[in-house]
Amino acid sequence: MGETRTGSGRPTTIVDIARAAGVSKSTVSLVLKGSSLVKPETKARVEDVIERFGYVYNRGAANLRTATSSFVGMVISDLTNPFFCELAVGIEEGLYQRGFVPILANTNEDTERQAQVLRSMREHGVGGIIMSPARGTDAWMLASLYSRTMPMVITMRQIIGSPLPYVGPDNQAGARKAVEHLIGLGHRRIGFLGGYATMTTQQERISGWRDAILGAGLPFDDTLVFESMPTRDGGRQAVEASLAHPARPTAVMCYNDIVAMGATRALAMRGLRAGKDMAVVGFDDIDEAEHNAPPLTTVSAETRLMGARCAESLLGLIQGSDPQEMGFTGPTRLVVRESCGAPVSIRQKELA
Amino acid sequence: MGETRTGSGRPTTIVDIARAAGVSKSTVSLVLKGSSLVKPETKARVEDVIERFGYVYNRGAANLRTATSSFVGMVISDLTNPFFCELAVGIEEGLYQRGFVPILANTNEDTERQAQVLRSMREHGVGGIIMSPARGTDAWMLASLYSRTMPMVITMRQIIGSPLPYVGPDNQAGARKAVEHLIGLGHRRIGFLGGYATMTTQQERISGWRDAILGAGLPFDDTLVFESMPTRDGGRQAVEASLAHPARPTAVMCYNDIVAMGATRALAMRGLRAGKDMAVVGFDDIDEAEHNAPPLTTVSAETRLMGARCAESLLGLIQGSDPQEMGFTGPTRLVVRESCGAPVSIRQKELA
DNA sequence: CTGAAAGCGCTTACAG
DNA sequence: CTGAAAGCGCTTACAG
């Protein structure tokens, strides 16, 4: 384990401390947890020895005894995507603040790997799991992976039919807000770029897009959905497909920011300017969005907050809260930059 | 802990299995580790019960007994930076492949946090630590944090004066290669953008830059170093400073890719084109580099590989290898894209 | 080939 | 206020 060692070469334990301080190990244990039962002098003496020996607490042993855990599994579907990276940072922060420690696994969208990793985490005694499911995970698969006694929260990708609490942004409201903004700017033919209909996130964002169009009394045309991988390259392909459409859209709502970045880049390569020749809006507001060429108008999913909220929900579950109460649909916020071609007066302002 | 439970409500343990299979727990333990000592029939019987009970191994208990650990601390200085994110993915992969599991901490460049986190990891019984030190970590600080008995490898930022094995790319050779490429393209005044002289990584990359210039017999001008934060915004500032220089450089080597991305963006905002009006080269080859406008010529640090190598070195240390042997300076590779303005014929080709 | 016993480093009633 | 004892779920000599 490699703790600080006594002369004898093994890590110091509470019995070493007890012996040196002339008390029993029970007393040392009491001191360690700051119990008020122990007399101040004794406490001081013990603390002094602890300090001198450079003793380090063995939380694993304590957890074995108390049958608790301070580990939480953090299972991320694609850590290579900056969005999930930010989410992971948010979760990590929330966990540490509450005295828990994350075990990381990147499934890389591989459901096999996901199954292995979940198993491994159980063996390693995590107290609960926060997971953004790999693409292709359905309720049935999840049920077989999930242990009724293991607290678990699902994030970012809703698994329909699963009773596990879900924490994620309000995709529909967010997309709707963005598309309404485009409509306000005068657009009448607005496309949707990226993702596949099998992804619940895409379904939700598409439905926000549709709601905005229908809500404005505009004609709805579902040939304006251009599916693709949710990647930069997918964005490129999707935007090219949209340009080839007989009645090409003048604006597009993208599945997420990296799709939007791929799309703006592809436009630029053809000599077209996002925000002029075609309005482009993303989703997520990753750090890069602001530095895109042109800076991306996008829907902020409040990623860090969302991560913190995952931690909160999981710890609620661990403490026995009703799973039904631990789900959370987070707020979204439209961030207007340049890729939508908004008049300069509204640029840089954030609309609630 | 939340393992699968028997009717009684507590997780199944090897004694439950032993009882049900009519053997002792020693035998169950033997079966669990695949010992050849146990008779095939017995083994089959035990395995059957394990399966039926949905038993899950308690690795924490085993580790307590054997005084080993399958946890490794992964302490990252800035997970928000895509480069470190890729590094983390590489480390994570390498660790899982070897049966270890990473505990993640993002110090966010905060040395206070770093100290806490290191302490916490020791308490949680990690078998070793892989750390990219927070800015401002020096040998003295590291010594106070470090426990002589805790295997530890340092990555990406060399701490001079520390005996801990360091795993990272050959910054000097990488930068030199890039600058030689610029020289080969005909540039005579080549600046260096970003980072601060207090960062060893910057020192190394600068020295590669200097070597290339001196090696080509070109005049060396150290007013051509424009320091800045190693961020996109820093890149913007640095490139503007370089443009304001009385004898502005025609090409710049950047501290890293995000500096280069900030720089190319700032050039574009002024109507200048990276690769035409000024050649720009990055370092790291993060995923985004390829999708930058224009695509970045950069030095690949072989990030995933580097991460895997960190895992390898740490596990070497854990198994008792000589720390002196566990350091590793990785290869770099120049990736020529468009931002350097290379003639189309060499673009997209990778030079060894 | 299998079992009884001791022990890893803690915590927690229970006595005193 | 403090100590002795039992036990968390494993592994590992040691007998047999």
Question: Residue A345 contacts by C-beta under 8 Å, 6 or more apart in sequence?
Answer: none
pLDDT beyond 80 at A6: no
Q: CA dihedral in degrees (B251, B256, B261, B262; nearest 10)?
A: -90
User: Cβ distance A92 to B106 under 8 Å?
Assistant: yes
Element (H, E) at B267: helix B257-269
Instruction: Output Rg (C-alpha) for chain A, integer angstroms.
Output: 26
Whether residues B217 and B346 share a domain: the answer is yes
Do B85 and A79 lie within an 8 Å CB cutoff?
Answer: yes
Whether residues A313 and A177 share a domain: the answer is no
Q: Where are the alpha helices (DSSP H) in chain A?
A: 14-21, 25-32, 40-53, 59-66, 82-97, 111-123, 139-145, 171-184, 200-215, 232-244, 257-269, 303-318, 323-326
Nearest CB partner across the interface for A58, out of B61, B119, B125 = B125
Whether residues B282 and B162 share a domain: the answer is no
Å from B33 (CA) to D5 (C1')? 32
Beta-bridge partner residues of A228: A195
Nearest nt by C1' to B18 Cα: C3
Mutation target for A interface from B114, B116, B122, B315: give the one with most A CBs within 10 A: B122
Decide if A3 is inside a domain.
no
Whether residues A207 and A236 share a domain: the answer is yes
Whether residues B134 and B120 share a domain: the answer is yes
Whether residues A342 and A198 share a domain: the answer is yes
Boundary of a domain, candidates B40, B65, B90? B65
Nearest CB partner across the interface for A103, out of B102, B106, B288 = B102
DSSP characters for B169-224?
Answer: E-HHHHHHHHHHHHHHTT---EEEESB-TTSHHHHHHHHHHHHHHHHTTPPP-GGG
Decide if B6 is inside a domain.
no
Nearest CB partner across the interface for A124, out of B101, B104, B120 = B101
Q: Which of A30, A212, A59 is nearest to B119 (CA)?
A: A59
CA distance B282 to B297: 6
Q: Tokens at residue B233, please? A: 């915004």
User: Cβ distance B88 to A84 under 8 Å?
Assistant: no
CA distance B268 to B263: 9
| Domain containing residue A128 | 70-169+304-330
Q: Tokens at residue A264, please? A: 């703006």
CA distance A228 to A221: 18
Decide if B218 is inside a domain.
yes
Q: Go through chain B and tell me how many residues it has.
A: 352
pLDDT per residue, tens digit, chain B (352 aa), is 333 434 446 789 999 999 999 999 999 999 998 888 888 889 999 999 999 999 999 999 999 999 999 999 999 999 988 999 999 999 999 999 999 999 999 999 999 999 999 999 999 999 999 999 999 999 999 988 888 789 999 999 999 899 999 999 999 999 999 999 999 999 999 999 999 999 999 999 999 999 999 999 999 999 999 999 999 999 999 999 999 999 999 999 999 999 999 999 999 999 999 999 999 999 999 988 988 888 999 999 999 999 999 999 999 999 989 999 999 999 999 999 999 986 644 544 444 4
**Strand C proximity list, CB < 7 Å:** A 10-11, 13-15, 25-26, 29-30, 32-33, 55-58, 61-62, 64-66; B 22-27, 30, 37-39, 41-43, 61, 64-65, 67
Å from A98 (CA) to D10 (C1')? 29
Whether residues A93 and A225 share a domain: the answer is no
**What integer pLDDT is reported at residue A96 of this predicted model?**
94
Q: What is the Cα B286 distance to its own chain's centre?
A: 12
Decide if A6 is inside a domain.
no
Whether residues B181 and B325 share a domain: the answer is no
What are the chain B neighbours of A119 within 8 Å (beta carbons)? Answer: 56
Q: CA dihedral in degrees (A126, A129, A135, A138; nearest 10)?
A: 110
CA distance A45 to B23: 48
Question: Residue A292 contacts by C-beta under 8 Å, 6 or more apart in sequence?
Answer: A257, A260, A261, A264, A339
What is the nearest CA distance from A221 to chain B, expressed in angstroms?
Answer: 31
What are the chain B neighbours of A64 within 8 Å (beta carbons)? Answer: 58, 60-61, 64
Do B63 and A63 lie within an 8 Å CB cutoff?
Answer: no
Confidence of residue A349 (pLDDT cuts 50, 70, 90): very low
Whether residues A259 and A183 share a domain: the answer is yes
Decide if B138 is inside a domain.
yes
pLDDT beyond 60 at A204: yes
State whether residue A134 is helix, strand or coil. coil
* Range with the largest mean pLDDT of A142-146, A159-163, B79-83, B151-155: B151-155
Decide if A8 is inside a domain.
no
Nearest CB partner across the interface for A291, out of B85, B105, B261 = B261
Burial (CB count within 10 angstroms: exposed 0-12, middle 13-18, buried 19+), residue B77: buried
Whether residues A99 and A225 share a domain: the answer is no
Boundary of a domain, candidates A49, A65, A81? A65
Q: Provide the sign of the torsion angle of the four alpha carbons B45, B47, B50, B51, taken in this order.
A: negative
Whether residues B252 and B342 share a domain: the answer is yes
Decide if B128 is inside a domain.
yes
For chain A, the domain total comes to 3
pLDDT beyond 60 at A2: no
Whether residues B309 and B214 share a domain: the answer is no
Q: A80: domain CATH number?
A: 3.40.50.2300
Q: B35: domain CATH number?
A: 1.10.260.40
Question: Residue A8 contacts by C-beta under 8 Å, 6 or more apart in sequence?
Answer: none
Decide if B7 is inside a domain.
no
